[in-house]
A and B are shown apart, each in its own frame.
Chain A
Amino acid sequence: MEITVRSRISLVVAVSACALFVAGAGMALAAKASSPRVVKCHMYLSAVPGANSAQVDQPPSGGRQYGPAQCAGKGLGSGVEADKFTVPISGDLVGTYYQYFSAGTIKGKFDLVPQESPPLSSTSFATESFKGTVSVTGGTGSLKGTKSTKAGVMKCTSPDTVHLTCTETVKVTP
Chain B
Amino acid sequence: MSCCLAGISAATASAAKLQGAGSTLIAPLEAEWGAAWGNQTGNSVTYSPVGSGSGYKDIAAGLVDFGASDAPLSVYSSPACHNCVQIPWGLTATGVSFHVNGLRRLHLTGPTLAKIYLGQITNWNDPALERLNGHKLPNLPISVFYRSDSSGDTYAFTRYLSDVSGPFAKQVGSSTTVRFPKGTGAKGNTDMAGAVQGTNGSIAYVAVSYLINASLPAAAIQNRGGRYTVPNLSAIEAAARAFRGVPASNQVTIVNPSKHAKSAYPISTYTYAIVPTNASQGGTLRSFLYYCLGGGQKLGPRLDFAPLPKAVLTKARRTVGSIQ
Interface residues of A (CB under 8 A from B): 55, 57-59, 61, 87, 89-92, 113-114, 116-117, 119-122, 124-128, 160-161
- Determine if B194 is an interface residue (Cβ-Cβ < 8 Å): no
Decide if B241 touches A116 in the complex (CB within 8 Å).
Answer: no
Cβ-defined contact, A117 with B261, below 8 A: no
Quick check: which of B3-11, B18-26, B179-187, B222-230 contacts chain A, the rest being far away?
A: B222-230
A90 to B225, CA, bound (A): 9
B residues apposed to A, CB below 8 Å: 95, 104-105, 208, 211-213, 215, 217-218, 220, 225, 227-235, 237-238, 241-242, 258, 260-264, 298, 301, 304, 306-307, 309
Whether B105 and A89, one on each chain, are in contact in the complex, defined by CB atoms closer than 8 angstroms, is: no
Q: Which of A59, A116, A128 contacts B220 (CB 8 A)?
A: A116
Please measure, in the bound complex, the distance between the C-alpha atom of A168 and the C-alpha atom of B260, giving whole angstroms: 26
Contact residues in A for B230 (Cβ distance below 8 Å) = 116-117, 119-120
- Which chain B positions have C-beta within 8 A of A87? 238, 241
CB distance from B23 to the nearest CB of A (A): 19
- On chain B, the residues within 8 Å of A59 by CB distance are 233-234, 237, 306
- Bound together, the chains give a CA A117 to CA B238 distance in angstroms of 14
Smallest CB separation, A51 vs chain B (Å):
14
Task: Please pick, from B217, B238, B264, B301, the residue contacting A125 in the complex, using a CB distance under 8 A.
Answer: B301
Q: Please indicate the chain A residues that have their CB under 8 angstroms from the CB of B309 in the complex.
A: 61
Q: Give Cα distance in the complex from A24 to B70, angstroms.
A: 74
Note all chain B residues with C-beta closer than 8 A to A128: 232-234
The answer to whether A119 and B213 touch (CB under 8 A), given A58-B233, A125-B233, A128-B232, is no
B307 engages A57 (CB within 8 Å): yes
Contact, CB under 8 Å: A120 / B208: yes
Give the distance to chain B from A36, nearest Cβ to Cβ, in Å.
32
Name 11 A/B residue pairs within 8 A (Cβ), A-sorted. A55-B298, A58-B233, A58-B307, A87-B241, A89-B260, A117-B230, A119-B218, A121-B212, A124-B232, A125-B212, A126-B233
State the CA gap A90–B262 with chains docked (Å): 5
Best-surrounded residue of A116, A120, A126 (most CB of chain B within 10 A): A120
User: Roughly how many angstroms separate A114 CA and B263 CA in the complex, as a whole number?
Assistant: 7
**How far, in angstroms, from A116 to B230 measured CA to CA in the complex?**
8
Asked if A120 meets B95 with Cβ closer than 8 Å, knowing A59-B237, A125-B232, the reply is: yes
Task: Enumerate chain B residues within 8 angstroms of A58, measured Cβ to Cβ.
Answer: 233, 301, 306-307
Using A58-B307, A120-B212, A120-B217 as known contacts, say yes or no to A90 and B228 having CB atoms under 8 A apart: no
- The 10 A-B residue pairs with the shortest CB-CB distance, nearest first, are A91-B263, A91-B238, A120-B218, A126-B233, A58-B301, A114-B263, A90-B262, A128-B234, A89-B260, A59-B234
- Please name all residues of chain B whose beta carbon is closer than 8 Å to the beta carbon of A92 when the two chains form the complex: 262-263
Q: Which residues of A contact B228 (CB under 8 A)?
A: 116
Q: Report the bound CA distance from A127 to B220 in whole Å.
A: 15
- The answer for the CA separation of A89 and B301 in the assembled complex, in Å, is 20
Most chain A beta-carbon neighbours within 10 Å: one of B211, B218, B232: B232
Cβ 8 A contact of A127, one of B95, B105, B227, B232: B232
CB-CB nearest in chain B for A160: B301
Residues of B within 8 A of A90 (CB): 225, 260-263
Whether A125 and B304, one on each chain, are in contact in the complex, defined by CB atoms closer than 8 angstroms, is yes
